[in-house]
Structure 1
Amino acid sequence: MTKETTGPVLLSGGNPQIAKGDGDGPVQAYIAAMPAWKSEVGRQLDAAISQAIPDVRKAVKWNSPFYGTTENGWFLGIHCFNRYVKIAFFHGAALNPLPPGASKQKNVRYLDIHENEPIDDAQLIDWVRQASRIPGDPI
């Protein structure tokens, strides 16, 4: 008798386990697998990032969606936790104003989004545009 699976496995902390892959497809699979209210947050974030950077490159790496540009590399990642969705700005210390969450890595800054917490789309889009212009890890 085999065990049937009904979808992606949620790893410790509630992050969906999605195979690595380039392009929009793996990112949309990740967003669809985000549990409960987090999936809608994922859709909102993906739409805002795509609006801010129409030619944004997407991939899933290390069970997290990554966003980047051909010119400057990866600038942002999303990760799902039990109680919130974390946006990592890989060179967030260079953004103005600074995203609120500090990191052990001096260049990284975070924005945590909790259930029923509104997303400041204008600020998010501004940070995304700024972050996309900072050279980062190659795609």
Structure 2
Amino acid sequence: MSDAQSPKLLAGGNPQIPKGDGDAPVQAYIDAMPGWKGTIARRLDELIVYLVPDVRKAVRWNSPFYGIEGRGWFASCHAFTWYVKVTFLNGALLVPEPPGSGKDPDSRWVDIGEDQFDDAQMAVWIEQSAALDGWHGF
């Protein structure tokens, strides 16, 4: 993408990508992420595609979402200044639970800094989360 076509980077390096369904908007988001954040998002995307071959993808609220048709969305990611946040929308049911939690009683997340991607743990969470019913919010 040329600079004239590059998405605007919002706070923390989060790309401003139009809402869209399918792989193309997710890849546009990942391609626009700066430096190591893009590397983490690409590893996450590749791991999800490998472990969940029938994954459904979309971009909403400047974040890639991953789900299963008819079963809901199970994960999303978002770039922040010092980390990439990977949210499991049904994360309260995962073992072990991802460490981050907030007002939503179902979601849990992990903040991944540079050189902190744990392929083995992420694979466990992805497989568990994709096997459960997910969020049907959009």
* Paired residues of 2:90 and 2:135 also in contact (CA < 8 A): no
Map of 1:126 onto structure 2: 124
2:89 & 2:35 partners in 1: Cα distance?
A: 26
Q: Which runs of 4+ in 1 moved over 3 A?
A: none
Q: How does 1:42-53 map to 2 (within 5 A)?
A: 42-53=41-52
Which whole-Å deviations, capped at 9, do the CAs of 1:78-117 have from their partners, x for residues lacking one?
0000110000111100001111112221111011110122
2:124 & 2:100 partners in 1: Cα distance?
A: 17
Which whole-Å deviations, capped at 9, do the CAs of 1:37-90 have from their partners, x for residues lacking one?
111111101001111101100010110000000131101010000110000111
2:118 & 2:14 partners in 1: Cα distance?
A: 23
Q: What is the TM-score of this pair, normalised by structure 1? A: 0.91
More helix per residue: 2
1:7 & 1:26 partners in 2: Cα distance?
A: 13
Q: Secondary structure at the match of 2:86?
A: strand
What's the CA shift for 1:24?
0.5
> How large is the Cα RMSD of the aligned pairs?
1.4
What's the CA shift for 1:126?
1.4
Structure 2 residue 110 is the aligned partner of structure 1 residue 91: no
* Bigger Cα Rg: 1
Q: What is the TM-score of this pair, normalised by structure 2? A: 0.91
What's the CA shift for 1:6?
4.9
1:13 & 1:48 partners in 2: Cα distance?
A: 24
* Paired residues of 1:72 and 1:133 also in contact (CA < 8 A): no
What's the CA shift for 1:125?
1.3
Matched-pair identity in %: 53
Structure 2 residue 22 is the aligned partner of structure 1 residue 23: yes
What residue ranges of structure 1 are gaps of 5+ in the alignment?
Answer: none
2:115 & 2:5 partners in 1: Cα distance?
A: 27
2:69 & 2:104 partners in 1: Cα distance?
A: 24
* Paired residues of 1:16 and 1:30 also in contact (CA < 8 A): yes
Paired residue total:
135
